[in-house]
Amino acid sequence: MTSPLPADLTAGIEIASATLLSGGDVARAFRLDTTSGPLFLKWHPDPSPGLFEREAAGLRALRAAGAARVPEVVRESPAGLVLEWIEPGPRSAGTEREFGAELAALHRTTHDTFGAVDGAPAGFLGSQPVDLTPTSTWVELFFHRRVMPLTETAIASGRLDAAARDLVDRLAPRAAELCGPAEPPALVHGDLWAGNRLIDAHGRSWLIDPAAHWGHRELDLAMMQLFGGFGDCVFAAYDEAFPLSDGWRDRVPWYQLPPLLVHAVKFGGSYGAAALAALRRYA
């Protein structure tokens, strides 16, 4: 079979056909039909250094927790990943309730520091680099290493009004308070919008494309509400299984700041204005 697929990821795999899949803005995606069954391939001809290594580490950490379904990493290289294939199917009310309980169980997996799942200092949110050097405080990781530098990057790219810098400076003394009650570092997906949750042919949920790290569990819940796609019963089932702290809904825009800033840098449009509005809400 003649194919442009990367040899370091496909060598030795007996591929009958490769089908280009739609969706995704970071990598090319294919369904590989092989003699041993279907596989999923994602790759990029010139990726940011460590991009797929970090994704593979996140997938393995989430899978090892045993709380949620996560595809197995079959192959990895600096250029991409080969993963277990998940056959898509429809969701149901039962799917949503089950996912809420599974996510709550995932978040009960804790650690003694915030940051990378394996101690590595660098990570990504989407395609944007973030600092995941382990730290003892959540405000250090979230506000000082994520909100502040992403704000500067968005301003430098011309996608965010420079007024955001003064707002961030004004919020800095209150950042710990705005992050909510202290909780142990939880294993979070880190980029949990609806496109990063698959539903299989049996109506079960799977987590993909993580920016996994040890963080605050409200981060995942906020991301889930940024673009929609999760039913109310997901959040009800989650809160029943792992009750949330008072005021968590008031902190949703706060925890939506990093993805809004990343989207502002990458796509422009209304994302910069939305990030500015979130900052003004708390300033």
Mean pLDDT across the chain, nearest whole number?
95
Task: Please check the confidence at residue 93 and state whether its pLDDT lies above 90.
Answer: no
pLDDT at 246 (0 to 100): 96
Task: Please check the confidence at residue 167 and state whether its pLDDT lies above 90.
Answer: yes
Taking the C-alpha atoms of residue 149 and residue 153, their distance in angstroms, rounded to an integer, is 6
Give buried/exposed letters for 79-88 (b at 16+ CB in 10 A, else e): bbbbbbbbee
pLDDT at 1 (0 to 100): 41
* pLDDT category of residue 25 using cuts at 50, 70 and 90: low
Q: What are the DSSP calls for 132-186, one per residue? A: ---BS-HHIIIIIIIIHHHHHHHHHTTSS-THHHHHHHHHGGGHHHHT-S----E
Q: Which one, of 71, 89, 99, lies nearest residue 208 by Cα?
A: 71
pLDDT at 27 (0 to 100): 86
* Under 8 Å between Cβ of 142 and 151: no
Task: Please check the confidence at residue 59 and state whether its pLDDT lies above 80.
Answer: yes
At 111-142, the pLDDT tens digits run: 999 999 998 999 999 889 999 999 999 999 99
- Angle between helix 163-171 and 271-282 (nearest 10): 30
| Residue 69, token pair as written in the block | 């379904």
Catalytic residues: 191
Mean pLDDT of 53-82: 97
Neighbours of 186 (CB within 10 A): 22
* pLDDT category of residue 2 using cuts at 50, 70 and 90: very low
CATH of domain 93-282: 3.90.1200.10
Q: Does domain 7-84 have CATH number 3.30.200.20?
A: yes
The pTM for the full model equals 0.95
Mean pLDDT of 81-86: 98
Give domain limits for the chain.
7-84, 93-282
pLDDT at 24 (0 to 100): 63
Task: Please check the confidence at residue 188 and state whether its pLDDT lies above 60.
Answer: yes
Which segment of 20-34, 64-78, 180-194 scores lowest on mean pLDDT?
A: 20-34
Residues 6+ apart with CB under 8 A from 105: 67, 68, 241, 242
pLDDT at 200 (0 to 100): 97
Higher pLDDT, 22 or 222: 222
